[in-house]
Amino acid sequence: NAGVMQNPRHLVRRRGQEARLRCSPMKGHSHVYWYRQLPEEGLKFMVYLQKENIIDESGMPKERFSAEFPKEGPSILRIQQVVRGDSAAYFCASSPPREGSHEQYFGPGTRLTVT
Amino acid sequence: DAKTTQPPSMDCAEGRAANLPCNHSTISGNEYVYWYRQIHSQGPQYIIHGLKNNETNEMASLIITEDRKSSTLILPHATLRDTAVYYCIVRGAYNQGGKLIFGQGTELSVKP
Protein backbone atom coordinates (compact mmCIF):
# COMPACT_ATOMS: atom_id res chain seq x y z
CA ASN A 1 0.00 0.00 0.00
CA ALA A 2 1.71 3.13 -1.20
CA GLY A 3 2.01 6.00 1.22
CA VAL A 4 0.96 9.59 0.70
CA MET A 5 2.52 10.88 -2.49
CA GLN A 6 3.39 14.48 -3.21
CA ASN A 7 4.72 16.01 -6.37
CA PRO A 8 6.77 17.66 -7.35
CA ARG A 9 9.26 17.13 -4.54
CA HIS A 10 11.03 20.37 -5.43
CA LEU A 11 9.54 23.33 -7.23
CA VAL A 12 11.23 26.57 -8.24
CA ARG A 13 9.12 29.53 -9.26
CA ARG A 14 9.89 33.14 -10.04
CA ARG A 15 8.02 35.87 -8.21
CA GLY A 16 4.59 36.38 -9.73
CA GLN A 17 4.24 32.87 -11.16
CA GLU A 18 1.77 30.25 -10.01
CA ALA A 19 2.67 27.15 -8.02
CA ARG A 20 0.58 23.96 -8.06
CA LEU A 21 1.32 21.31 -5.48
CA ARG A 22 -0.28 17.89 -5.75
CA CYS A 23 -1.08 15.34 -3.10
CA SER A 24 -2.35 11.80 -3.62
CA PRO A 25 -3.64 10.38 -0.33
CA MET A 26 -3.20 6.80 0.75
CA LYS A 27 -5.60 4.34 -0.83
CA GLY A 28 -8.98 4.48 0.87
CA HIS A 29 -8.30 7.81 2.60
CA SER A 30 -10.81 10.55 1.90
CA HIS A 31 -9.49 13.21 4.30
CA VAL A 32 -6.59 15.44 3.31
CA TYR A 33 -4.70 18.08 5.28
CA TRP A 34 -2.12 20.61 4.13
CA TYR A 35 0.59 22.02 6.41
CA ARG A 36 3.35 24.53 5.76
CA GLN A 37 6.79 24.70 7.34
CA LEU A 38 8.65 27.96 6.84
CA PRO A 39 12.45 27.87 7.14
CA GLU A 40 13.52 27.41 10.77
CA GLU A 41 9.89 27.41 11.92
CA GLY A 42 7.36 24.83 13.04
CA LEU A 43 4.62 23.13 11.08
CA LYS A 44 1.46 25.18 10.61
CA PHE A 45 -1.93 23.82 9.63
CA MET A 46 -3.39 25.34 6.48
CA VAL A 47 -6.50 23.49 5.34
CA TYR A 48 -8.53 20.31 5.86
CA LEU A 49 -10.51 18.83 2.98
CA GLN A 50 -12.76 15.91 2.32
CA LYS A 51 -13.77 14.84 -1.15
CA GLU A 52 -15.22 17.93 -2.89
CA ASN A 53 -15.53 19.83 0.41
CA ILE A 54 -13.38 22.23 2.38
CA ILE A 55 -13.93 21.44 6.05
CA ASP A 56 -11.54 23.85 7.76
CA GLU A 57 -9.49 26.54 6.03
CA SER A 58 -8.68 28.54 9.14
CA GLY A 59 -4.93 28.36 8.45
CA MET A 60 -5.02 29.48 4.84
CA PRO A 61 -3.73 32.93 3.97
CA LYS A 62 -6.65 35.09 2.86
CA GLU A 63 -5.29 35.85 -0.59
CA ARG A 64 -3.51 33.94 -3.36
CA PHE A 65 -3.90 30.49 -1.76
CA SER A 66 -6.57 27.94 -2.62
CA ALA A 67 -7.04 24.22 -2.21
CA GLU A 68 -9.28 21.57 -3.69
CA PHE A 69 -9.83 17.86 -3.42
CA PRO A 70 -11.97 16.77 -6.38
CA LYS A 71 -14.03 13.60 -6.61
CA GLU A 72 -11.37 12.12 -8.87
CA GLY A 73 -7.68 12.84 -8.77
CA PRO A 74 -5.25 14.34 -6.29
CA SER A 75 -5.69 17.25 -3.92
CA ILE A 76 -4.20 20.48 -5.26
CA LEU A 77 -2.77 23.38 -3.29
CA ARG A 78 -2.53 26.39 -5.57
CA ILE A 79 -0.54 29.52 -4.86
CA GLN A 80 -1.04 32.41 -7.27
CA GLN A 81 1.48 35.21 -7.82
CA VAL A 82 4.08 33.67 -5.52
CA VAL A 83 6.32 35.86 -3.38
CA ARG A 84 9.63 35.06 -1.67
CA GLY A 85 7.82 34.59 1.64
CA ASP A 86 5.99 31.59 0.18
CA SER A 87 9.27 29.65 0.06
CA ALA A 88 8.68 26.74 2.41
CA ALA A 89 8.10 23.01 2.67
CA TYR A 90 4.48 22.07 2.10
CA PHE A 91 3.32 18.79 3.60
CA CYS A 92 0.17 16.89 2.86
CA ALA A 93 -1.35 14.32 5.20
CA SER A 94 -4.26 11.94 4.82
CA SER A 95 -6.46 9.91 7.11
CA PRO A 96 -9.18 7.32 6.59
CA PRO A 97 -12.86 8.24 6.84
CA ARG A 98 -13.81 5.99 9.69
CA GLU A 99 -14.87 7.49 12.98
CA GLY A 100 -12.21 7.12 15.67
CA SER A 101 -9.29 7.16 13.28
CA HIS A 102 -6.53 9.11 14.91
CA GLU A 103 -3.42 8.93 12.81
CA GLN A 104 -2.52 11.28 10.01
CA TYR A 105 -0.07 9.92 7.47
CA PHE A 106 2.24 12.51 5.99
CA GLY A 107 3.84 12.71 2.58
CA PRO A 108 7.48 13.64 1.95
CA GLY A 109 6.63 17.25 1.21
CA THR A 110 7.15 19.70 -1.64
CA ARG A 111 9.96 22.21 -1.22
CA LEU A 112 8.94 25.45 -2.90
CA THR A 113 11.63 27.99 -3.67
CA VAL A 114 10.62 31.40 -5.00
CA THR A 115 13.41 33.32 -6.72
CA ASP B 1 -7.18 22.29 21.99
CA ALA B 2 -5.00 22.42 25.08
CA LYS B 3 -1.52 23.92 24.96
CA THR B 4 1.54 21.72 25.48
CA THR B 5 4.98 22.50 26.90
CA GLN B 6 8.10 20.50 26.01
CA PRO B 7 11.81 21.01 26.67
CA PRO B 8 13.47 22.40 23.53
CA SER B 9 16.21 19.79 23.39
CA MET B 10 17.45 16.56 24.96
CA ASP B 11 20.36 14.20 24.52
CA CYS B 12 20.29 10.43 24.88
CA ALA B 13 22.99 7.78 24.61
CA GLU B 14 22.49 5.15 21.95
CA GLY B 15 20.92 2.00 23.37
CA ARG B 16 19.52 3.77 26.41
CA ALA B 17 15.90 4.71 26.98
CA ALA B 18 14.84 8.17 25.87
CA ASN B 19 12.17 9.74 28.08
CA LEU B 20 10.54 12.79 26.56
CA PRO B 21 8.23 14.79 28.86
CA CYS B 22 5.23 16.88 27.92
CA ASN B 23 3.12 19.14 30.09
CA HIS B 24 -0.53 19.66 29.17
CA SER B 25 -2.06 20.99 32.36
CA THR B 26 -5.17 22.45 30.67
CA ILE B 27 -6.19 19.23 28.93
CA SER B 28 -9.91 18.52 28.99
CA GLY B 29 -11.68 15.22 29.44
CA ASN B 30 -12.22 14.36 25.76
CA GLU B 31 -8.80 15.38 24.48
CA TYR B 32 -6.22 12.85 23.39
CA VAL B 33 -2.44 13.11 23.65
CA TYR B 34 -0.60 12.44 20.38
CA TRP B 35 3.07 12.11 19.62
CA TYR B 36 4.61 12.68 16.20
CA ARG B 37 8.20 13.07 15.14
CA GLN B 38 9.97 14.73 12.23
CA ILE B 39 13.30 13.37 11.11
CA HIS B 40 15.41 16.04 9.43
CA SER B 41 12.81 17.82 7.26
CA GLN B 42 11.00 14.65 6.26
CA GLY B 43 7.24 14.46 6.65
CA PRO B 44 6.11 14.01 10.26
CA GLN B 45 5.54 10.47 11.43
CA TYR B 46 2.82 9.34 13.82
CA ILE B 47 4.19 7.52 16.87
CA ILE B 48 1.44 6.87 19.40
CA HIS B 49 -1.61 8.37 21.08
CA GLY B 50 -3.58 7.90 24.29
CA LEU B 51 -6.53 9.17 26.28
CA LYS B 52 -5.88 8.19 29.88
CA ASN B 53 -4.40 4.70 29.93
CA ASN B 54 -0.77 3.96 29.23
CA GLU B 55 -0.17 2.75 25.70
CA THR B 56 2.57 0.75 24.00
CA ASN B 57 3.25 -0.11 20.37
CA GLU B 58 6.22 -1.29 18.37
CA MET B 59 7.77 2.16 18.36
CA ALA B 60 7.26 3.55 21.86
CA SER B 61 5.37 3.67 25.13
CA LEU B 62 3.20 6.52 26.33
CA ILE B 63 2.77 7.11 30.04
CA ILE B 64 -0.01 9.52 31.04
CA THR B 65 -0.26 10.68 34.64
CA GLU B 66 -3.43 9.94 36.55
CA ASP B 67 -4.53 13.58 36.50
CA ARG B 68 -3.68 13.68 32.74
CA LYS B 69 -1.78 16.93 33.14
CA SER B 70 1.46 15.50 31.81
CA SER B 71 2.81 12.57 29.84
CA THR B 72 6.08 10.92 28.88
CA LEU B 73 7.03 9.30 25.61
CA ILE B 74 9.51 6.48 26.09
CA LEU B 75 11.74 5.12 23.34
CA PRO B 76 13.04 2.00 25.11
CA HIS B 77 16.31 1.53 23.20
CA ALA B 78 17.16 4.69 21.30
CA THR B 79 19.15 4.40 18.08
CA LEU B 80 20.88 7.06 15.99
CA ARG B 81 17.91 6.94 13.63
CA ASP B 82 15.67 8.19 16.43
CA THR B 83 17.35 11.59 16.26
CA ALA B 84 14.44 13.89 15.39
CA VAL B 85 12.12 16.60 16.63
CA TYR B 86 9.36 15.08 18.76
CA TYR B 87 6.01 16.81 19.00
CA CYS B 88 3.46 16.32 21.75
CA ILE B 89 -0.01 17.40 20.60
CA VAL B 90 -3.32 17.52 22.42
CA ARG B 91 -6.41 17.29 20.29
CA GLY B 92 -10.09 16.66 20.65
CA ALA B 93 -11.79 13.56 19.40
CA TYR B 94 -11.75 12.81 15.68
CA ASN B 95 -15.06 14.37 14.86
CA GLN B 96 -14.06 17.70 16.36
CA GLY B 97 -11.84 18.93 13.59
CA GLY B 98 -8.90 16.88 12.54
CA LYS B 99 -6.15 19.48 12.34
CA LEU B 100 -2.94 19.03 14.32
CA ILE B 101 -1.46 22.04 16.09
CA PHE B 102 2.31 21.59 16.26
CA GLY B 103 4.38 23.40 18.87
CA GLN B 104 8.15 23.73 18.85
CA GLY B 105 8.71 20.16 20.01
CA THR B 106 11.77 18.58 21.60
CA GLU B 107 14.86 18.08 19.49
CA LEU B 108 16.23 14.70 20.56
CA SER B 109 19.85 13.95 19.74
CA VAL B 110 20.88 10.32 20.13
CA LYS B 111 24.64 10.09 20.52
CA PRO B 112 26.90 7.07 20.03
For B66-91, how does the pLDDT look when each residue is reduced to its tens digit (9 = 90+)?
999 999 999 999 999 999 999 999 98
Q: Are A106 and A91 in contact (CB under 8 A)?
A: yes
Cβ–Cβ gap B98/A56 under 8 Å:
yes
**Which residues of chain B does A107 touch, with a Cβ-Cβ cutoff of 8 Å?**
43
Q: Which of residues 25-64 of A touch B (CB under 8 A)?
A: 31, 33, 35, 42-45, 48, 55-56, 58-59
What pLDDT sits at residue A102? 75
Cβ–Cβ gap A102/B34 under 8 Å:
yes
**Which residues of chain A does B49 touch, with a Cβ-Cβ cutoff of 8 Å?**
102-103
Q: Over B36-85, what HEC string results?
A: EEECCCCCCEEEEEECCCCEECCCCEEEECCCCCEEEEEECCCCHHHCEE
**Gap between the Cα atoms of B29 and A6, Å rounded:** 36
pLDDT band for B28, please (50, 70, 90 cuts): confident
